[in-house]
């Protein structure tokens, strides 16, 4: 048995959500500053984190979670100047990309996923049959805030409950239907340029919490699953404005409708930064 498969079986046996909540409380606790600084220093060294672009608090980070959810200095990330660019919502690696099938299915690392399972709503998923999808994996060293890939108003957010497996190679290689099993938030924007675009923030083991930047909804802390609608007062966001934050993890999945004709500007395996173009195009205006 390979080491990665053994690790996956070990993770399956763990009480993952309870463990993640406990780690979350620890990461957010106000431990002695010397302990926090030592933990951050070890993490920075282990994962080669670039601190030169971090918006550093004057007195340092008070908790490890403050460091992990760090903001960047102004100008550290630039949004592509083409208004028809669909931009990366996060720093990371393009794990996979392509077109959804007629049955709204997508292929990720050799596994077939249903958009209905990922979004948590078959009717909403049908909007993406034949559209494009982009999957961005955030490694531990990456900046963990997620931003709008398009300009448009947030219409609603769906909180899909689930478990919390790792989303690294151990998870993607050995946990079937990983992204459809982990807790996630599906954030739906309506864009004049790109149509109805869904960004799915997928949680992972660890702290295991996802928070919205425009609402108080957070996963894995007892908030009720389901839909939060903003139809009466849509939240307008430009490309690059903040959607949410990962408190450990994870992966962001962007889906566009088939009427949005895109010329893909990236490739699977490529490194990407928030704001860089993943594709150029928009709604077919013929």
User: Do residues 204 and 219 lie in contact, with contact meaning Cβ atoms separated by under 8 Å?
Assistant: no
Cα–Cα distance measured from residue 61 to residue 43, given in angstroms and rounded to the nearest whole number: 13
In whole angstroms, what is the distance from residue 281 CA to residue 61 CA? 40
Reading the block at residue 123, the tokens are 């009717």
**d(C-alpha 143, C-alpha 92), whole Å:** 8
Q: Which two tokens stand for residue 13?
A: 């046996």
> In degrees, to the nearest 5, what angle opens at C-alpha 128 toward C-alphas 84 and 179?
105
Length of the chain in residues, anyone?
286
Distance CA 73, CA 89 (A): 17
Helix, strand, coil % over all residues of the chain, rounded to 5:
25, 35, 45
**Among all residues, which ones are annotated catalytic?**
91, 147, 250
**DSSP single-letter state for residue 207:** S
Q: Which helix (H) or strand (E) holds 13?
A: helix 3-13
């Amino acid at each position: 048995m390979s080491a990665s498969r053994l690790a996956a079986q070990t993770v399956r046996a763990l009480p993952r959500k309870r463990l993640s909540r406990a780690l979350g409380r620890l990461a957010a606790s106000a431990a002695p500053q010397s302990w926090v600084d030592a933990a951050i220093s070890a993490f920075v060294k282990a994962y080669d984190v670039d601190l030169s672009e971090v918006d550093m608090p004057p007195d340092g980070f008070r908790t490890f979670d403050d460091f992990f959810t760090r903001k960047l200095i102004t100008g550290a990330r630039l949004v592509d100047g083409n208004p028809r660019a669909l931009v990366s919502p996060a720093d990371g690696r393009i794990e996979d990309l392509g077109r959804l099938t007629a049955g709204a299915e997508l292929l990720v690392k050799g596994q077939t996923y249903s958009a209905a399972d990922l979004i948590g709503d078959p009717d909403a998923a049908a909007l993406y049959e034949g559209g494009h999808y982009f999957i961005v994996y955030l490694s531990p060293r990456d900046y963990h805030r997620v931003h709008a890939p398009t300009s448009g108003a947030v219409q609603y957010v769906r909180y899909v409950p689930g478990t919390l497996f790792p989303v690294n190679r151990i998870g993607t290689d050995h946990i079937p239907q990983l992204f459809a099993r982990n807790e996630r938030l599906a954030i739906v924007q309506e864009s004049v340029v790109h149509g109805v675009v869904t960004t799915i923030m997928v949680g992972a083991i660890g702290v295991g919490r996802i928070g919205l930047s425009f609402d108080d909804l957070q996963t894995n802390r007892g908030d009720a699953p389901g839909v939060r609608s903003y139809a009466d007062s849509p939240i307008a966001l430009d490309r690059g404005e903040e959607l949410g934050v990962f408190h450990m993890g994870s992966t962001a999945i962007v889906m566009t409708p088939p009427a949005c004709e895109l010329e893909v500007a990236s490739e699977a395996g490529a490194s990407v930064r928030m704001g860089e173009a993943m594709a150029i195009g928009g709604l077919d205006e013929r």
